[in-house]
Structure 1
Amino acid sequence: MLLEGQRVLITGASRGIGRATAIECARHGADVAVNVFKDSEATATLVKEIEALGRKIVVFDADVADPESAPAFVEAAVSGLGGVDVLVSNAGICPFHSFLDMPRATLRRTMEVNLFGAYYMCQAAANQMVKQGSGGSLVAISSISALVGGEMQTHYTPTKAGVHSLMQSTAVALGRYGIRCNSVLPGTVATDINKDDLADPKKREYMEGRIPLGRLGRPEDIAKVVVFLASDLAGYVTGAAVLADGGAFANFQ
């Protein structure tokens, strides 16, 4: 029960890594507030899972790209849970597209969701933590794509590098308030964001073949890293980036 009594906010929580993180945090004793966006069916099943674990859950439906959604989400969490101890900034999109004909709207939307959304949410949560005066933890889901390129991800990889950099800078800015800021860099994790790309058996086999542990990541693999970073076990860890990729980056040569 690494997070017993903690109030944890998670963005992009209806599916994938965000959903797994909400459930894992609840298993470790946390009450959760989840940001979702137009995904009522998946959200309803998540609520049932969290409540079955005996934990509270607050649901807030909004687009993280909207600057007003961040303070409103935090306000809803404070109202429902009494405060904010941890924010997990997870919401992200990756509409694969080639570089030379990248639509400006696709570039802009990816930046606004992945990077600006993370900024707004971290800022709003940090302000609440400073107000409470008892410290806290920001954990942002970056990606191995912050470290390597991707032909169809020229709009995506810069956002994930930005999220990683944001956590380094906020670690410096917020350390005096006892707020720790870290990022997680998942490798290839089988989620809705890449299910079409991995539907090709040859592509999936190729991706698995690059990973020393011999398999793609699961959302639960990343959720467990988030719980560690949010917990007192990581009490002296801030400004760090945890690469959770089954050894893939070490094998890129």
Structure 2
Amino acid sequence: MLLAGKTVIITGASRGIGRAAAKECARQGARVVIGHSGSEQGTEAARSLIEEIAAFDGQAIEVGSDAADPDTGDRLVAGAVNAFGSVDVFVNNAGICPFHSFLDMPREVYLKTVNTNLNGAYFAVQAAANQMKNQGKGGAIIAVSSISALVGGGMQTHYTPTKAGLHSLMQSCAIALGPYGIRCNSVLPGTIATDINKDDLADEEKLAYMTSRTPLGRLGEPDDVAGPIVFLASDMAKYVTGASLLVDGGLFVNLQ
């Protein structure tokens, strides 16, 4: 029970990595706030996740609000405080990646990606950090960045800068928030099989290539990222801040 007594907010938690992280945090004793888009589909998925968590006596609530909205962080914090009395861990996981070529990138696709992945995240992290500061007990902030923060992608020119930005944000926030006992770290997943890349990985040739370049011999699953998130959220990582953890099956080192 590494997170017993802690309240954890996770954005983009109705599916993929966020959903796996929410379940594992709850298994480890956390009270979980499931952030999601607020759409009908997102609400339905979040409520089914609450049922899954309740099945093993975990506690969770859902808060629907677009990750691109600068006020979403305030809504998530308010939901956490009203339901559970505190915010101890904030996991910024929400993100989109609509693959598109660079030269004809629609302005609206670029702006939606940046607003969802980075701008909304900035203000959500700020809201969580202010709550943690006011509580006076420290806390942990974790950004789900990506291996894409470190390597380029021809169809991801709008996406990779946002993931590099999250990684950099955690480094700077580690300095800014360290005096308040708030630790800030990032996880950098490699190729994880989720909805965000299912169309891309439907290409059997690309799937075989990515698998062959991964030393562990398989693509990642959302559960593979949940454990590292729990570690960074827990007191086992009480002296870890400003760090980044690759969770990629060895893909990055094999791309050198």
Q: Same fold (TM over 0.5)?
A: yes
AA aligned opposite 1:189: I
Matches within 5 A, 1:192-207: 192-207=195-210
Q: 1:75 aligns with which of 64, 73, 78?
A: 78
Q: Which moved more, 1:194-203 or 1:182-191?
A: 194-203
Give the whole-Å Cα distance in 1 for the aligned partners of 2:130 and 2:79. 14
SS at match of 2:205: helix
Equivalent position of 2:219 in the other structure? 216
Structure 1 position 120 matched with structure 2 position 123: yes
Normalising by structure 1, we get a TM-score of: 0.99
1:138 paired residue among 141, 153, 167: 141
Q: 1:136-175 deviations in whole A, cap 9, x for unaligned?
A: 0000000000000001000000000000000000000000
> Helix, strand or coil: the match of 1:220?
helix
- Specify every segment of 5 or more residues in structure 1 that has no aligned partner in the other structure, as ranges: none
CA distance in 1, matches of 2:119, 2:148: 17
Match of 2:156 in 1: 153
Amino acid at match of 1:209: S
The match for 1:14 is 14
Query: Which of the residues 88, 105, 109 maps onto 1:106?
Result: 109
Q: Say whether the 8 Å CA contact 2:47–2:62 is kept in structure 1.
A: no
3-state SS in 2 of match to 1:118: helix
8 Å CA contact 2:34, 2:46 repeated in 1: no
- Is 1:24 the equivalent of 2:27? no
Cα distance in 1 for partners of 2:251, 2:135 equals 40
Q: TM-score, normalised by structure 2?
A: 0.98
SS, match of residue 54 in structure 1: coil
User: Are residue 55 (structure 1) and residue 58 (structure 2) matched?
Assistant: yes
The residue that corresponds to 1:3 in the other structure is: 3
1:247 to 2:250 alignment: yes
Shift of 1:200: 1.6
Q: Which runs of 5+ in 2 are unaligned?
A: none
Q: Deviations over 1:43-79 (max 9, x none)?
A: 2210111111212211100001111111111011100
Task: Please list every run of at least 4 consecutive aligned residues from structure 1 whose deviation after the TM superposition is greater than 2 angstroms.
Answer: none
- Amino acid across the alignment from 1:4: A
In structure 1, what residue type is equivalent to 2:154?
E
Percent identity over the alignment is 63
SS of structure 2 residue aligned to 1:123: helix
Q: CA deviation at 1:41?
A: 2.5
Residue in structure 2 matched with residue 33 of structure 1 by the alignment: 33
RMSD in angstroms over aligned alpha carbons? 0.7
Residues paired across the two proteins, number: 253
